[in-house]
Structure 1
Amino acid sequence: MSSIEKGIIHDHIYSSNSKREKDCNQLKISSNKNDNSFENHRRTIRKKCDIQTDEDREEYFRRRTLNNTSCRVSRIHRRSKLEITMKKCMEYEDLNAKLIAQTSLITQVIDLLKEHLRTSISNNLQQN
């Protein structure tokens, strides 16, 4: 292993890719040794390196197409939910600004009423 590989082996992307390559290579080696064992069982095709026949290729591309379609639908739903959330956020921010303005107006009215009450009470006390 070179010093560069040692330096990047900790990164999960590189380590998982090298593991996948080793798994694919092991599968190819074992499939060459035991060709009869694969004929008896329906093989699962999970990676591109698992493709060995035209039927495997068709199955792989069918599954990839299905996955791509479902990912596209998932992205559309996620974007629409994000848009709805952003609209609600903007509505709540506007409502919050209105409520803050209303609160400050009510606070000013209360302060004026308190001041008026203080002056009227002090005037009544001075008159009596």
Structure 2
Amino acid sequence: MSSIEKSIIHDHIYSSNSTREKDCNQLKISSNKNDNSFENHRRSIRKKCDIQTDEDREEYFRRRTLNNTSCRVSRIHRRSKLEITMKKCMEYEDLNAKLIAQTSLITQIIDLLKEHLRTSVSNNLQTNK
């Protein structure tokens, strides 16, 4: 058995649950006895217990390998999206802090200008009287 097959068997959900696998095989055998039309239809290999021939095993391993590869790629994409989102979040937090500082500076300048305007207007009013 190759290392790929070992890793697939190791990753498979039914690999450590032999009683479930046996139950599945028993269901398959009993359904074959009751249903003769099963041989005419293409067998669907969805679980490890559905394997009956070498072709089934090859198809199963091919599909498991394909699924494992696509899951790996999906995880990589998800992680990269998360990293991009975290970078954007940090950039926006920095920008937010800068904007808050700028807003407080502008507010202070406006308050100083208002105070200066009040004093200059009150001085002009007092000199005009």
TM-score (norm 1): 0.76
Give distance in 1, aligned partners of 2:47 and 2:90: 44
User: Alpha-carbon deviations, 1:11-56, whole Å to 9, x = none?
Assistant: 9999999997697255323255158544322100001111111111
Q: Which residue of 1 aligns with 2:78?
A: 78
TM-score (norm 2): 0.76
Report the CA distance shift for 1:117/1:22 in structure 2 as closer, same or farther (over 3 A). farther
Offset of 1:120 from its aligned partner? 0.4
2:76 is paired with a residue of what secondary structure? helix
In the alignment, structure 2 segments of 5+ residues that lack a partner are none
Give distance in 2, aligned partners of 1:80 and 1:87: 10
Give distance in 2, aligned partners of 1:25 and 1:42: 18
In the alignment, structure 1 segments of 5+ residues that lack a partner are none
User: Alpha-carbon deviations, 1:58-117, whole Å to 9, x = none?
Assistant: 111110000000001111111111111111111100000000000000000000000000
Report the CA distance shift for 1:10/1:76 in structure 2 as closer, same or farther (over 3 A). closer
The answer on whether the counterparts of 2:14 and 2:48 sit within 8 Å (CA) in structure 1 is no
Report the CA distance shift for 1:62/1:10 in structure 2 as closer, same or farther (over 3 A). closer
Give distance in 1, aligned partners of 2:67 and 2:3: 38
Greater relative contact order (Cα < 8 A, sep 6+): 2
Q: Which moved more, 1:46-55 or 1:15-24?
A: 15-24
Give distance in 1, aligned partners of 2:57 and 2:46: 11
Report the CA distance shift for 1:92/1:55 in structure 2 as closer, same or farther (over 3 A). same
The answer on whether the counterparts of 1:8 and 1:14 sit within 8 Å (CA) in structure 2 is no
Give the % identical residues: 95
Q: Which moved more, 1:81-90 or 1:105-114?
A: 81-90
The alignment's C-alpha RMSD in Å is 8.5
The answer on whether the counterparts of 1:48 and 1:60 sit within 8 Å (CA) in structure 2 is yes
